[in-house]
A = this chain, B = another copy of it.
Amino acid sequence: MRKTLCDTLGIEHPIVGFTPSEHVAAAISRAGGLGVLGCVRFNDPDELDGVLDWMDANTDGKPYGVDVVMPAKVPTEGAAVDLEQLIPPEHREFVRRTLDELGVPELPEGEQKQDGVLGWLHSVARSHVDVALRHPVRLIANALGSPPVDVIERAHGHGLLVAALAGKAEHAVRHVDKGVDIVVAQGHEAGGHTGEIATMVLVPEIVDAVGDRVPVLAAGGIGSGRQVAAALALGASGAWMGSYWLTTTEYQQIPGNAATQQALLAAGSSDTVRTRIYTGKPARLLKTRWTDAWSAPGAPEPLPMPLQNVLVSEAHQRITRSADPTVVSMPVGQVVGRMNKVRPVADVMADLLAELDETIVKLSDLR
C-alpha cells in the first residue's frame, strides 16, 4: 500500500506535509515527502502565482501540492467590503474591547488593514486552482468537503491528482463517488477544521468504507514515527501532517512567526481548543488568552463562515504585530505537546522515518 501511494505521487516516503509556508512545503518535498502549500491566505491570485514560481525553483524538481478550500456548503459570496456590512456591531465591539483587555496594541498609524481571508469563497478558491494548473503541481487537496466535479475533471485533465479531507466515512465515500483520488481521514485531534471522530476510530472506518477504490491518508495526532506506524497499522497508505511542521526552522522565515513558535513550543497536548472563532466552522486552535476570551461568559457566538474571519482579521493582524505568545490565534492539533524544539524539516523527516522503521521492527519481533 505504501509503495502504491509513493508511486502514485512520485515521492519517496509516505509523508504528506500540509503547511501555509512555501519554505516548509519546498523543504518537505526536497526531503522526499510531498509538501502541500495551503492557499487560503492568498486573496490575490497573482501573489500565489509568484509563490508557486518560487516553489518551482526551490523543489529540485520534486513533486509538490496545493491545498484550496471549497466548503461543501457554499458560504456567502461577496467582496470584502460587502461582507463587512453583514457583521453585527456587537461582535465588532466585543473584538475591540477584548483586544484592549488583552493589551494588544492598535495598528500603527498608516499601516493598512488587511482584508479577511477570502480563500474559502468558491470564487477565490477557483482562482487558486487556475493558478495551480499553470504550475507543475502534482496534487490539489480540498480542505472542506468534496471539490466541485468540474474542478476535479479539470485537474484530471491536467494530469493532477485530487485529494479531499473527510471527518466522517460518508463524506469520504461522497468524495470518491465524485472522482477524488486520495482521501485524507482527519481525526478530532487534528489542528484546524476538524470533526468529532478521533483518528484511531476514523481511519479504519474510512479505509473500510472506500475499500480498494483510493488510498487513504491518516491525519490528526501524527508527530512521530510511532504515530506514522500506527496510521499504517490502521490501514492508511501514509500520513498527512500539518501541525508538526510549525516548529521547523523553515517556518521561521515568515515574519511574525517567532511569537507563534514560542507559544507552540511551550504548549502541552491539553492546550488546544476546538472552536468556531477562527473561521466560523469548528477548528482546533492553540488555547490562549484570545480563545479564552471567546469562551468566557457573555462572549458572542462566532459568526458563520466567511464572516467570522472577516470579523477577526484585523485582530489577527494586531495579534501578530504584538508578538505576544499569550494571545496568538493559531490552528494546531493536540500533537503540539510533542513540538518542543525548533529543527530543520530534513531532520524532522529523518527522525520520523527512522522511528517508523524501528517501530515496524519492534512489532515484527512480537510475532
Given contacts A198-B198, A200-B222, A205-B338, contact A360 B361 (CB under 8 A): no
A200 & B199 in contact (Cβ 8 Å cutoff): yes
Instruction: Count contacts on A: residues with CB < 8 A to the other chain.
Output: 45
Within 8 A of B (CB), among A327-352: 333-335, 337-338
- B363 A232 Cβ-Cβ under 8 A: yes
Within 8 Å CB of A363, what residues of B? Answer: 229, 232-233, 360, 363-364
CB distance from A306 to the nearest CB of B (A): 26
Tell whether A189 pairs with B201 under 8 Å between CB atoms, given A230-B230, A367-B360.
yes
What 0/1 pattern do residues 204 to 220 of A give for CB contact below 8 A with B? 11000000000000001
A204 surroundings in chain B (CB, below 8 A): 224, 226-227, 338
Give the residues in chain B near A220, CB-CB below 8 Å. Answer: 198, 200
For residue A226, give the distance in angstroms from its CB to the closest CB of chain B. Answer: 5
Which residues of the partner chain B approach A169 to less than 8 Å between Cβ atoms?
Answer: 269
Structural contact, A367 and B361, CB atoms closer than 8 A: yes
- What residue in chain B is nearest A334 (Cβ atoms)? B201
Is residue A234 contacting chain B, with contact meaning CB distance below 8 A? yes
Q: Note all chain B residues with C-beta closer than 8 A to A197.
A: 189, 269-270, 334, 337
Which residues, 68 to 114 on A, are CB-close (under 8 Å) to B? none
Which 7 residue pairs spanning A and B have beta carbons closest together? A200-B221, A189-B198, A230-B230, A229-B233, A230-B233, A198-B198, A201-B334
Q: Residues of A with Cβ closer than 8 Å to B? A: 1-2, 168-169, 187-189, 196-202, 204-205, 220-222, 224, 226-227, 229-235, 269-270, 333-335, 337-338, 357, 359-364, 366-367
